[in-house]
A and B are shown apart, each in its own frame.
Chain A
Amino acid sequence: MEYINIFIKSVFVDNMIFAFFLGMCSYLAVSKTVKTSAGLGIAVTFVLLITVPVNYLINKYLLSPGALAWLSPRLAEVDLSFLSLIMFIAVIAAIVQIVEMVIERFSPALYNSLGIFLPLIAVNCAVLSGSLFMQERGYANIGEATCFALGSGVGWFLAIVAIAAIREKLRYSAIPPALRGVGITFIITGLMGLAFMSFMGVKL
């Protein structure tokens, strides 16, 4: 039950885009058509789903205060948490590279459709913040962290597909010339954010 709560909460209440504005750069740049944005959404979900549990283990057994106690009792006082940023980003960059090579080897069709987006995911703030939020919120076990990662990814996917669908329709609207493109996308995202705020008080 706890798992479902965390999943629903991270999809709707703590939505990466509408509640924290994370991953906005690619969200604004790639959301021109539904097809490409769905591809990017799936790729981000996939990378989150792998990196957050890996970083959870690294955080738990290497970085957090006293984490090295399993090696030897003398190391129980070591606190390496100042290294977490570098560790997390290195893990993410490495995993994105591996995922890219694996997809290229086993599914060239998927690789071609994702092609350019895959390497860019390494610098997508939604992915790094997935790991940082996981560390900050202190999930009890790896299952909870995985549910959180899946939920954040699905929430990001929903947001980018929704805005892409709206932008496809917007092409036929009369928008003031200065507001066309980026300007109106910002304002619509703001309005969607207001709508998503109605989930805020939801207690699960």
Chain B
Amino acid sequence: MMKSKNWKLITLPFSKQNPITVQVLGVCSCLAVTAQLKPAVVMALSVTVVVALANLIISLLRKTIPPRIRIIVQLVVVSMLVVLVDQVLKAYMYDVSKQLSVFVGLIITNCIVMGRLEAFAMSNPPLPSLMDGIGNGLGYSVVLVTLGFVRELFGSGTLWGYPVMEKLGLYNIGYENNGLMIMPPMALILVGIIIWIHRTRNQDLQEQ
């Protein structure tokens, strides 16, 4: 059932084809929602669901979409999915949905979604497209969760709201939270460092 080719579509975006560090797509949302772990995980899941389903739907429709109006068709499909995700979040996780504010809506214009639709779903059958969507969503999630983990742990000393640093007793021996970590610019610098490490290990990705 799971051919090795399909499996590769899922694993490739983790490293060699990572949407954020290699393709540089969908950066906006990855920076703004990662000050804490919880919104980062919720955002990562929402994007994965939207990319996977949008890829599947567009791939099923790919032979009937006239090429001239394909952008509008794609936007309509994606925004329908995003509205669904937005309403589900509002219904079941109202506090997180407030924290994410406009960024759930901005999944519509998330370049990962449009980029995968254009580059993959328009020219491939449904099953590989679904796999490609899941893979890219998870590749995006890896970066998002890493950022959320580092920033919450060092910025506010908690993980998922649980006071890790306090329980370890680090404050008693003079440990202080690094306020810079929660600030937005630090997310950019952290992504820069992730790219640096990633490209040092994968020399073939380096730019001239």
Residues of chain A at the chain B interface (Cβ within 8 Å): 18-25, 28-29, 82, 85-86, 89-90, 93, 119, 122-125, 127-129, 132-133, 136, 176-187, 189-194, 197
Residue B53 is within 8 A (CB to CB) of chain A in the complex: no
In terms of DSSP, what is the predominant structure of the interface of chain B? Answer: helix
Whether A194 and B199, one on each chain, are in contact in the complex, defined by CB atoms closer than 8 angstroms, is no
In terms of DSSP, what is the predominant structure of the interface of chain A? Answer: helix
* A125–B101 CA distance with the chains assembled, in angstroms: 14
Given A25-B26, A86-B83, A128-B106: A136 and B192 interface contact (C-beta under 8 Å): no
Residue B96 is within 8 A (CB to CB) of chain A in the complex: no
Whether A179 and B195, one on each chain, are in contact in the complex, defined by CB atoms closer than 8 angstroms, is yes
Whether B106 and A22, one on each chain, are in contact in the complex, defined by CB atoms closer than 8 angstroms, is yes
> Which residues of chain B are near A183, meaning CB under 8 Å?
192, 195-196, 199
B99 → A minimal CB distance (Å)? 13
Given A123-B114, A132-B102: A180 and B109 interface contact (C-beta under 8 Å): no
Whether B24 and A182, one on each chain, are in contact in the complex, defined by CB atoms closer than 8 angstroms, is yes
Whether B185 and A193, one on each chain, are in contact in the complex, defined by CB atoms closer than 8 angstroms, is yes
Which of the candidate stretches B41-49, B72-80, B128-136 sits at the interface with the other chain? B72-80
Whether B195 and A182, one on each chain, are in contact in the complex, defined by CB atoms closer than 8 angstroms, is yes
Residues of B1-44 contacting chain A, CB below 8 A: 21, 24-29, 31-32
Whether A186 and B110, one on each chain, are in contact in the complex, defined by CB atoms closer than 8 angstroms, is no
Whether B110 and A136, one on each chain, are in contact in the complex, defined by CB atoms closer than 8 angstroms, is no
> Which residues of chain A are near B200, meaning CB under 8 Å?
178
Given A85-B86, A128-B105, A132-B105: A25 and B206 interface contact (C-beta under 8 Å): no
> Which residues of chain B are near A93, meaning CB under 8 Å?
71-72, 75
Given A25-B24, A25-B25, A128-B109: A180 and B206 interface contact (C-beta under 8 Å): yes
* A133–B191 CA distance with the chains assembled, in angstroms: 25
A190 → B minimal CB distance (Å)? 3
* A22–B109 CA distance with the chains assembled, in angstroms: 10
* A127–B192 CA distance with the chains assembled, in angstroms: 25
> Which residues of chain A are near B191, meaning CB under 8 Å?
186
* A86–B105 CA distance with the chains assembled, in angstroms: 10
